[in-house]
Structure 1
Amino acid sequence: MKTAIAIRHLAFEDLGILQPLLQARGFRIEYREAGVDRLDGLALEQVDLLIALGGPIGAFDDELYPFLVDELGAIRRRLQARRPILGICLGAQLMARALGAGVAAMGHKEIGFAELQLTEAGMRSALAPLADSPLALHWHGDQFDIPDGAQRLAASARCPNQAFAIGNHALGLQFHLEADPQRLESWLVGHACELAAAGIDPRTLREQCRRHGEMLRRQGSLVFARWLDGLG
């Protein structure tokens, strides 16, 4: 049986809709809790698939959150070995950093359901199912630069770098295709302080999710299925 390890930084920011897709493809799923479990062992280097999930800290916050040193090292070794890796939000930012690219604050928050624009490379990538109804859940204040050798796949009106890929084995997403629309409330509660500070009414996000959630579930499932199929 294949194994996928997901590095989780917040309990409610988990694999979401990606978990049943992985299980249907024969993956056994393990979580590593950042800051609690060790992130420097061979398991993260040798596992069939590594997924680095999102979180509300910065990709360069090593001094504040020392576990990032080991997490970054594991991600860097995966990339150097060209082993399958998926990064989402913070996870994608750490991938970019591991590849020598910058990660910095945008000067504003991008939170909510908003459109994406696929690049030409994005239209040929696993993200192609988003072309018909290009919508995603955004929840971040930092953004990554596109690493050397990577293809830029998507942008949004407020963030020019939303996704990148290296070959078929590495995919970094700034947005949250994995988020389960049926569990949005846990995000609203867990990020209540951030929403209040940004002046965002959770009722607005609930209504957006009510209107778009099931479409996003279908599209996200198609994207992840295409990417997993591309891993061979």
Structure 2
Amino acid sequence: MYIYHPYQFGYVPSADETDMLVILGGPMSPNDDFPWIEEERELVKTLMARNVPIFGACFGAQLISLTLGGEVTQAPVKEVGWAPVYRQTDVIPGLPEQLTVLHWHQDMFSIPTGATRLFSSDRVANQGFVIGHHVVGLQFHFEPVADDVREIVVNDFPYINGSVLGQTAADILATPVPAANQQAMFRILDYLTE
């Protein structure tokens, strides 16, 4: 496993060295005009043509949607903190009907052509999508453990201001990461690699 930080170093792996691609979040938008974003979009296209598994969270899901002709726009509300999402399809077996997840976004993606809506929240309908058996994009975060949540809050706490969820940094930190989130993340990764 290799971890790349293209926004810091400008390096995007090649398709030939990628068995599975995971694109996580960040403060940038896939609408930004950075050369590495276009390189990542080309990588997504190539890997999809090869049926290589791809998982995107937050920025990653937005980038996948945009790459496939979708749009990334400002959401009607800013969601930052813990709130539920609701499963919209049974295409990935074993996912609970409702999960409490970490939201950290103000933008949203449209569901790309050929994708199925996977999750919705009370405020933003498009919270996740699945394409075939090899691509999943989530607007929210299943992947953080407690230390990751602490790091996100410590480094980006001003972003919490203005969230419709009305949670403080202390509220977010005091909420334990639900064990069901890790199980859901494992189920999605299993589905992508079966």
TM value normalised by structure 1: 0.75
Distance in 2 separating the partners of 1:45 and 1:221 = 29
Of the candidates 60, 66, 71, which is equivalent to residue 97 of structure 1?
A: 66
Tell me the SS of whatever aligns to 1:161.
Answer: coil
Matched, 1:159 2:124: yes
Corresponding residue for 2:168? 201
User: 1:136 maps to which residue?
Assistant: 101
> 2: CA distance between counterparts of 1:124 and 1:100?
22
> Which position in structure 2 is the counterpart of 1:87?
56
2:50 is the counterpart of 1:50: no
Cα separation, 2, equivalents of 1:196 and 1:224:
28
Change (3 A) 1:219 1:76: same
Aligned residues: 190
Alpha carbons 1:34, 1:67 under 8 Å: kept: yes
Unaligned runs of 5+ in 1: 1-28
State the Cα distance separating 1:46 from its structure 2 match: 4.1
Aligned CA-pair RMSD: 1.9
Alignment partners' CA distance in 2, 1:219 and 1:197:
28
> Is 1:112–2:81 an aligned residue pair?
yes
Aligned to 1:223: 184
Normalising by structure 2, we get a TM-score of 0.89
**Structure 2 partner of 1:61:** 32
Deviation at 1:117, TM superposition (A): 1.5
Aligned 1:176-195 pairs, distance under 5 A: 176-195=141-160
Deviation at 1:61, TM superposition (A): 0.7
SS in 2 for 1:204: helix
Moved over 6 A (4+): none
The answer (yes or no) to whether the contact 1:72–1:94 under 8 Å persists in 2 is yes
Which residue of the partner structure matches residue 22 of structure 1?
none
How far off is 1:107 after superposition? 3.9
Uncovered stretches (5+) of structure 2, i.e. residues with no partner? none
Residues 105 and 142, structure 1, Cα contact 8 Å, conserved in 2: yes
Counterpart of 1:167, as a letter, is G
Aligned to 1:114, the other structure's residue is in SS state strand
CA distance in 1, matches of 2:170, 2:70: 36
